Amino acid sequence: MPDLADVLDRLHVVALPMRVRFRGITVREVALIDGPAGWGEFGAFPEYEPPEAAAWLSAALEAAYGDRPALRRSSIPINATVPAVDAAQVPEVLARFPGARTAKVKVAEPGQVLADDVARVNAVRASVPTVRVDANGGWTVDEAVAAAAALTADGLLEYLEQPCATVPELAELRRRIDVAVAADESIRKADDPLRVVRADAADIAVVKVAPLGGVRRMLDIAGQLGIPVVVSSALDSAVGISRGLLAAAALPTLTHACGLGTGGLFVEDVAEALIPVDGRLPARPVDPESARLAALAASPERRDWWIRRITECLPLTR
């Protein structure tokens, strides 16, 4: 494990403006580490306390100081990501994901109603053949049953991602609907990420490199889950996205499009945005451009905030 002084000496903190509000924010801050093995990204969301954020720092240190995994494929199919926008905005969002054959649509947004979700999903179906939805645990079991019926009235869904917040709720929901259920927060935010499988609570696992502590730990967990996995981003910059693509490329099998096309949500990024070709992105490391790092640098006050956070989290990394 590197010492704190070395990590801070290699640190760049950036603020990335977003095209639309996503996860309640319009600017995404991340801390990047220019390590001897490559670039790492620490982007745990501000509300995460040090014990949870430390896993994200572990992932950044692995990328900056560790080895790269052996790859089994050179490119990864990705899904379009559609925030909880008005249905009329859907074509504009989808235009940023040329060739994508799968789309993940955000639903259960606070302040919206099920009719908004149905309109958004149907607008996506007009252009993309395979649709999955992500509720971020926003429904009760009964609400999820009703939503599953409404959202499949005009077409199929590939799966419902984290429709309810808890593992028992997911298990109950699976018994009541015919749509596949995917677990996200119930894996990446759980002390025991394998609990969803033992509880028969998910058909598919959504796994993210940073919250799980790095590529190698993600691959280990994916192997133990024993169900298909979808590698997704955590609103990462181009650096973090590249780690997700490498992780997906290292999986023994990959049967679903991955949620690694979220770079299109940023107005500016630390490297030139990768454009999907036939709905796929290449699996390769990304180095930020120095001019972009300078232009997107966070304020001195925010840089100090991230330094304090790294100082708190480093002793908790593994």
Does residue 184 have a known ligand-binding role? Answer: yes
Give one DSSP letter per residue of 134-165, joined into a string: E-TT---HHHHHHHHHHHTSSS--S-EES-SS
Instruction: Say how many residues make up the chain.
Output: 318
Which helix (H) or strand (E) segment is 131 a member of? strand 130-134
Does residue 134 have a known ligand-binding role? Answer: yes
Instruction: Report the C-alpha gap between 245 and 259 in whole angstroms.
Output: 10
Q: What is the 3-state secondary structure (H, E, C) of 23-70?
A: CCEEEEEEEEEEECCEEEEECCCCCCCHHHHHHHHHHHHHHHHCCCCC
Buried b / exposed e along 158-180 (16+ C-beta atoms within 10 A)? bbbbbbbbebebbbbbbeebebb
Nearest Cα residue to 32 out of 68, 9, 60: 60
Inter-CA distances, 48 with 53, 77, 184, 238, 261, Å: 6, 30, 16, 22, 24
Does residue 172 have a known ligand-binding role? Answer: no
Catalytic residue numbers read 106, 208
Residue 169 contacts residue 192 (beta carbons within 8 Å): no
CA dihedral of residues 150, 114, 173, 235 (deg, nearest 10): 120
Q: Which residues are annotated as a binding site?
A: 134, 161, 184
Q: Which residues are annotated as a binding site for Mg(2+)?
A: 134, 161, 184
